[in-house]
């Protein structure tokens, strides 16, 4: 049954998409044998918790006649996708190491049957907007995020401000600025570029989401998903396909300005950044200046290289107006 408080205070007032935080059993002491639920001990039923959490809202919204239900949820388990779970990977560390972990998590989530997945771009815990090292990390994360199932910026930045009051919500301090214009002009221009790319890809991404809804096809997937006969593709763990036509090679290490990558055989691939074409079935060394990551288009696709360029927004005021127009 849809909670009376949620219905009265949110749904009836027009809220039809929920951010369901802490959607897993969270304890101060992780001694799982000691915790019991109606259905049994945590060691037997704990993983059901996030799926049932999502189902609670799904069933209630469905009962209210809502269609196309989807909610942002912090945890998931097998079957959560039935209940409109758009999963994010939780309150993660703000570091390149964490970025590398998110890459693996996203691909595995898709293969596990949960296609709608996202991450806090830049990580959640820590990260100083004025720190050059963190600026590089969030830039690389943002570039990766533009080619994820869901593209979103979130995080608890440092340093925190002082609390605004002595009671209620005023007791809590607040993180530092985390808008795209909070990281300096160089980072802002890169963010702007990849926001425009994402917007240009909207029709392509819409098709990917339809496929995900109809048959569970993950929008982001390992190379072997699209190229199962290519033996080399099964061993590639640092490059992926975003749909059938876009190959993405993120940058995972601080200071890295080039990287080796594999292009699947049986195809001709066009480098979006240089317009050079390459026969598949080979490893190549690819340049990766801070402003771009290696991205390739499969020849014969309907996508144009121009869709992955940024020539539309030229000022800070322009990007603010552009963001507001999309809300």
Where do runs of H (alpha helix) occur along 68-183?
96-111, 132-145
91 in catalytic set: yes
Per the residue annotation, which of 12, 22, 24, 238 is the catalytic one? 24
21 in catalytic set: yes
Where do runs of H (alpha helix) occur along the chain?
4-9, 42-45, 48-63, 96-111, 132-145, 185-200, 202-215, 223-226, 316-326
Rg of the chain (C-alpha set): 21
The token pair at 211 is 């496929």
The token pair at 166 is 């002595």
How far apart are the C-alpha atoms of 303 and 286, rounded to whole Å?
Answer: 21
Per the residue annotation, which of 22, 31, 67, 91 is the catalytic one? 91
How far apart are the C-alpha atoms of 113 and 86, rounded to whole Å?
Answer: 12
Per the residue annotation, which of 12, 21, 173, 179 is the catalytic one? 21
| Residues in contact with 14: Cβ distance below 8 Å, sequence separation at least 6, in sequence order | none
Residues annotated as part of the active site: 21, 24, 91
């Amino acid at each position: 049954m849809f909670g009376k408080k949620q219905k009265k205070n949110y749904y009836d007032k027009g809220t039809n998409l929920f951010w369901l935080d802490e959607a897993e059993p969270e304890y101060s002491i992780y001694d799982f044998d000691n915790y019991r639920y109606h259905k049994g001990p945590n060691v037997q039923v704990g993983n059901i918790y996030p799926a049932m959490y999502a189902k609670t809202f799904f069933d209630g919204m469905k009962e209210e006649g809502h269609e196309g239900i989807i909610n942002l949820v912090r945890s998931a388990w097998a079957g959560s996708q039935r209940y409109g779970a758009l999963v994010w990977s939780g309150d993660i560390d703000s570091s390149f190491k964490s970025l590398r972990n998110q890459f693996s998590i996203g691909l595995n989530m898709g293969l596990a049957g949960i296609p709608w997945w996202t991450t806090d771009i830049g990580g959640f815990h820590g990260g100083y907007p004025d720190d050059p090292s963190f600026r590089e990390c969030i830039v690389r994360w943002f570039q990766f995020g533009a080619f994820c199932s869901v593209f979103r910026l979130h995080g608890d930045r440092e340093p925190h401000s002082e609390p605004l009051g002595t009671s209620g919500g005023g007791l809590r301090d607040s993180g530092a600025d985390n808008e795209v214009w909070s990281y300096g002009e160089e980072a802002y221009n890169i963010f702007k570029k990849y926001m425009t790319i994402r917007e240009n890809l909207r029709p392509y991404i819409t098709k990917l989401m339809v496929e995900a809804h109809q048959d569970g096809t993950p929008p982001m997937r390992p190379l072997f998903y699209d190229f199962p006969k290519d033996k080399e593709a099964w061993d590639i763990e640092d490059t992926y396909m975003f749909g059938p036509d876009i190959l993405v090679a993120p940058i995972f290490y601080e200071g890295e300005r080039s990287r080796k990558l594999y292009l699947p055989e049986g195809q001709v691939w066009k480098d979006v950044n240089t317009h050079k074409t390459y026969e598949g079935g080979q490893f190549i060394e690819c340049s990766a200046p801070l402003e771009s990551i290696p991205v390739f288009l499969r020849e014969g696709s309907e996508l144009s290289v121009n869709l992955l360029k940024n020539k539309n927004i030229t000022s800070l005021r322009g990007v603010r107006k552009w963001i507001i127009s999309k809300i």
